[in-house]
Amino acid sequence: MRLLQRAVGPIATNLYVLADEQTREAIAIDTAIPCVEWLTAALAERGWTLQLIVTTHRHWDHMGDNAVLADATGAKIAVHALDREGLEHPSALMAPFPIPPCVPAVDLAEGSRIHFGEIDLEVLHTPGHTEGSVCLLASGERLLLTGDTLFAGSWGRTDLPGGSDEQMIDSLARLSAMPTDLRVLPGHGRGSTIAAELPWLEQVARTRLLPF
């Protein structure tokens, strides 16, 4: 598997591209504005075909270029069903520019699998930041793409519409039980590992409290 990463837009959203070298198929995860020019050039340079645009949750800084990118590449858009409304009727709360609506063609759910080439991603429903937040587990590659559920040393805020402390605690407790060798690729900031985050994740699971 090939992995590309780029921080995009005013909140430095981590855009990830995963590609299978044999089939030349790729997916993009969290296509923030502005990413279309860079992403289409990166795909063309490598001879990759974009199959799917995955949005880990409905906030504007993770889906702003979905519509334009889908038009440019023909790729389908995927999001958890509980966050679909946020893509079809996006809220530009705090956004410095308009956010175009888009129409998801694929509804993600707990246990869904995304296949492309030899790569297999499992969808984990991890609400708390939004109702439909998801993580993507690539077991074979030992990767966990966590969106805004888990960051290095922190977690996604729960005080925005759709956020929930209780659901976030459940989601973080779930991640505390994941294999410690998983590399964590978050929606913002630097990467980490489950092992590095384990002390405070286990505290959340044990106390049922967010630590600060």
All domains of the chain in start order, with CATH = 2-207 (3.60.15.10)
The pLDDT assigned to 192 comes to 98
Which regions of the chain are under pLDDT 70?
A: none
What's the pLDDT tens digit per position in 21-33? Answer: 999 999 999 999 9
**What type of residue is 49?**
T
CA distance 137 to 70: 24
pLDDT at 201: 98
What does the block give as tokens for 25? Answer: 């198929």
> Looking at residue 124, what is its pLDDT?
98
- Nearest one of 50, 54, 93, 39 to 73, comparing CA atoms: 50
Q: Write b or e for each residue in 44-77: b if 16 or more Cβ atoms lie within 10 A of its Cβ, otherwise e.
A: eeeebebbbbbbbbbbbbbbbbbbbbbeebebbb
Instruction: Find the helix or strand (DSSP H, E) in which 122 lies.
Output: strand 119-125
Q: What is the pLDDT of residue 165?
A: 98
pLDDT tens sequence across 23-73: 999 999 999 999 999 999 999 999 999 999 999 999 999 999 999 999 999
What is the chain's length?
A: 212
Q: Return all residues near 188 (Cβ < 8 A) that are at least 6 apart.
A: 11, 12, 13, 14, 148, 151
Pairing of strands 134-138, 143-147: antiparallel
- Phi, psi (5° rounding) for residue 200? -80, -30
Question: What angle, rounded to 10 degrees, do the helices at 36-46 and 66-73 form?
Answer: 30
pTM of the model: 0.97
Query: To which H or E segment does residue 46 belong?
Result: helix 36-46
